[in-house]
Amino acid sequence: MKKLVDIAHSRAGDKGNILVLSLIPFDSKDFDWLVQNITADRVKSHLKGQIKGNVSRYVLPSIHALQFTCEDALAGGVTTSLALDAHGKSLSYALLEMEI
Amino acid sequence: MKEKIRIGCGAGFSGDRIEPALILTEKGSLDYLVLECLAERTIALAQKRKLQNPEFGYDVLLEKRLKDLLPLLLQYKTRLVTNMGAANPIAGAKRIIELAKSQNLSIKVAAVIGDEVLEFISGEEHSLENNRPVQSEGKLLSANAYLGVEAILPALASDADIIITGRVADPSLFLAPMIYEFGWGLDQFELLGKGTVLGHLLECAGQLTGGYFADPVSKPIPGLDQLGHPFVDVFPGGRGVISKVEGAGGVISQRIAKEQLLYEVLDPHHYITPDVVADFSTVQFEEIAFDQLQVTGGCGIERPEKYKVSVGYEAGFKGEGEISYAGSHAVERARLAGEIIEKRIKGLVPNLRVDLIGLNSLHPNDLSKNSNPYEVRLRVAGMCKTLEQAQLIGEEVEALYTNGPAGGGGARKMVTQVVGVVSTLLDRNQIKPDFQLLST
């Protein structure tokens, strides 16, 4: 069973209560497939236990990368969150668990 | 005007390693070294230290970072730009002067001030995060505007060897030397955009050379224990070439640069700093030689009308307790322990959080559905108004030793003082940056 981690890498970042996830194919040939198939809705659905708000997707053809901005995703905000990983830094690998 | 300038990043956050800056300065032939050491909470905590003692409030690692670095900066003619001033740049500058004197070194330090704006905040300002008055979050501790290149440039124009600031936007620490050396105009937004791209790439130091990128299975990086920090050669037209000291650990590659370019960027078409609204969507990377990555593209649109201000407030105390279970029924015993704690203190701590580390503490439950670990660690956490309430959480977990499920071991308890941070906006004309020049 294939997962995103087999064809792409990702880094998570945070701004207040917003989680930012990049998604970059190892091989630029897979970029078009990612654009077609890894939509904002699909990311929101995959991380539905984590993301309470809207997910926006940005497509960046010049570097063959996708960026997902996920609102209300960090338990109220990194500074007051009770989560063990308050910044959500490990969530890049949660995204990469998505079955494809 | 120089043909190019070389800027290195020797620290990417307040807890970064000490020696990469020394190696960069000694072997990197840098024109400028940047040490970026301020996170959102850091200034509020530093503000608390300053309230207790007006001689403090600068970065706690200032002396440790500069002790061996000072003579190297002078020997290799490298100017230092750093935000280690935190809540007290002037005190930080004085400390650096004292350090230099103790080593018989002659230096000048410029302290950039003007980011502290608590006196200009009424408290009624709505936060960008919650859209309610910032004072409704809690007792206000600090308010600091993210200053930009306009605050740093006058200090660069003096003959200061070291420029130490408080809250400044990270990319501005890199952009200011570029503007100073190449004579870029503050309204040449395309150039400011390109410079901001390069600053954003470098501001997290080791994250650009393979740190926080390495995965031994899918993307291995050699030498993480000796990870070299990056530097960039910037040319007058805004083109950059990223590299690192030869022989240092890590790698320079497109893949790594892509992750760092997008790191913490809410909207790649509008990356907002005090200097410019930059567009990252046209950036291009090219590996032009071994460990040399060329960066082109990127642009700037306009300057934002307002400054972003980071407001720190008292948010109470976080109490935590942990205990581990292993072997058969480890998960069941850990779950039982969590239920016992909830029954005992949920009334006192309504926001109590219960995690099973090793099973579901990091990610949503459905992702670990079919996993069955050999060992698991219960973690209980809660946010409380007082220290005593927070301490109770850990105490209750520890009391499971004689009152809880079998085989529990390795109990730990912790309390942390919580400083919350929200942001708001202030008009540019309300902010008046300045600097003071000190010398040995």
- The answer to whether residues B406 and B369 belong to one domain is yes
Per-residue pLDDT band for B333 (boundaries 50, 70, 90) equals very high
Q: How many domains does chain B have?
A: 2
Say which of A13, A62, A82 has its CB closest to residue B282. A62
- The answer to whether residues B288 and B381 belong to one domain is no
Say which of A5, A18, A64 has its CB closest to residue B218. A5
User: Is 90 exceeded by the pLDDT of residue B72?
Assistant: yes
- The answer to whether residues B346 and B372 belong to one domain is yes
Range of the domain at B227: 5-119+144-306+428-439
CA of A98 to nearest chain B CA: how many angstroms apart? Answer: 9
**A28: contact with B, CB 8 A cutoff:** no
User: Is 80 exceeded by the pLDDT of residue A100?
Assistant: yes
Average pLDDT, chain B: 96
Q: What whole-number distance in Å separates Cα of residue B398 and Cα of residue B417? A: 20
Q: What is the mean pLDDT of residues B301-316?
A: 95
pLDDT score recorded for residue B1: 81
From residue A70, give the alpha-carbon distance in Å to each of A25, A93, B43, B281, B385: 20, 15, 26, 19, 30
**Cβ within 8 Å, pair A67-B268:** yes
**Cβ within 8 Å, pair A48-B364:** yes
CA nearest to A20 within chain B: B264
**B353: contact with A, CB 8 A cutoff:** yes
Chain A contacts in chain B segment 246-305 (CB below 8 A): 255, 258-269, 280-285, 297
β-sheet bridge partners, residue B80: B33, B162
pLDDT score recorded for residue B392: 97
Chain A contacts in chain B segment 179-218 (CB below 8 A): 212-213, 215, 218
Question: Over the stretch B41-52, which tens digit does the pLDDT of each residue have?
Answer: 788 889 888 988
pLDDT score recorded for residue B353: 97
Per-residue pLDDT band for B268 (boundaries 50, 70, 90) equals very high
Chain A / chain B CB contacts < 8 angstroms: 120
Q: Which CATH number fits domain A4-95: 1.10.3470, 3.30.70, 3.30.360, 1.20.120?
A: 3.30.70
Q: What is the mean pLDDT of residues B272-293?
A: 98
- The answer to whether residues B315 and B300 belong to one domain is no
pLDDT score recorded for residue B389: 96
pLDDT score recorded for residue B142: 92
Chain A contacts in chain B segment 305-344 (CB below 8 A): 315, 318
**Cβ within 8 Å, pair A97-B357:** no
Q: A56-60, B17-21, B38-42, B368-372: lowest mean pLDDT where?
A: B38-42
**Cβ within 8 Å, pair B366-A14:** no
**A55: contact with B, CB 8 A cutoff:** no
**B134: contact with A, CB 8 A cutoff:** no
pLDDT score recorded for residue B201: 98
Find chain A residues with C-beta within 8 A of B128's C-beta: 16
**Cβ within 8 Å, pair B362-A85:** yes
**A9: contact with B, CB 8 A cutoff:** yes
**Cβ within 8 Å, pair B383-A15:** no
Share above pLDDT 90 across residues of chain B, in percent, rounded to a whole number = 95
User: Is 80 exceeded by the pLDDT of residue A42?
Assistant: yes
Q: What whole-number distance in Å separates Cα of residue B242 and Cα of residue B283? A: 14
**Cβ within 8 Å, pair B281-A47:** no
Chain A contacts in chain B segment 16-55 (CB below 8 A): 40-41
- The answer to whether residues B338 and B400 belong to one domain is yes
- The answer to whether residues B330 and B198 belong to one domain is no
**B13: contact with A, CB 8 A cutoff:** no
Statement: the pTM of the whole predicted model exceeds 0.90: yes
User: Is 90 exceeded by the pLDDT of residue B370?
Assistant: no
In SS3 terms, chain B reads as: CCCCEEEEEEECCCCCCCHHHHHHHHHCCCCEEEECCCCHHHHHHHHHHHHHCCCCCCCCCHHHHHCCHHHHHHHCCCEEEECCCCCCHHHHHHHHHHHHHHCCCCCEEEEEECCECHHHCCCCCECCCCCCEHHHCCCEEEEEECECHHHHHHHHHCCCCEEEECCECHHHHHHHHHHHHHCCCCCCHHHHHHHHHHHHHHCCHHHHCCCCCCECCCECCCCHHHECCEEEEECCCCCEEEEECCCCECCCCHHHHHHHHHCCCCCCCCEECCCCEEECCCCEEEEEECCEEEEECCEECCCCCEEEEEEEEEEEEEEEEEEEEECCCHHHHHHHHHHHHHHHHCCCCCCCEEEEECCCCCCCHHHHCCCCCCEEEEEEEEEECCHHHHHHHHHHHHCHHHHCCCCCEEEEEEEEEEEEEEEEEEEHHHCCCEEEEEEC
**Cβ within 8 Å, pair B353-A77:** no
Say which of A79, A80, A84 has its CB closest to residue B357. A84
B333: domain CATH number?
Answer: 3.30.70.1150
**Cβ within 8 Å, pair B422-A58:** no
Q: Give buried/exposed letters for B243-278 (b at 16+ CB in 10 A, else e).
A: bbbeebbbbbbbebbbbbbbbbbbbbeebbbbbbbb
User: Is 90 exceeded by the pLDDT of residue B263?
Assistant: yes
Q: What is the mean pLDDT of residues B12-26?
A: 97
Q: B13-27, B142-156, B327-341, B357-371: lowest mean pLDDT where?
A: B357-371
pLDDT score recorded for residue A33: 98
- The answer to whether residues B177 and B253 belong to one domain is yes
Q: Which of B299, B362, B378 should be substituted to probe chain A, the one whose Cβ sees the most A Cβ atoms within 10 Å?
A: B362
- The answer to whether residues B260 and B225 belong to one domain is yes
pLDDT score recorded for residue B16: 97
Q: Which of B200, B219, B266, B360 should be substituted to probe chain A, the one whose Cβ sees the most A Cβ atoms within 10 Å?
A: B266
CA nearest to B207 within chain A: A11
**Cβ within 8 Å, pair A22-B364:** no
**B422: contact with A, CB 8 A cutoff:** yes
**B119: contact with A, CB 8 A cutoff:** no
**A33: contact with B, CB 8 A cutoff:** no
- The answer to whether residues B435 and B418 belong to one domain is no
pLDDT score recorded for residue B33: 98
CA nearest to A19 within chain B: B264
Sequence spans of domains, chain A: 4-95
**Cβ within 8 Å, pair B283-A62:** yes
Is B124 inside any structural domain?
A: no
**B164: contact with A, CB 8 A cutoff:** no
**Cβ within 8 Å, pair B318-A82:** yes
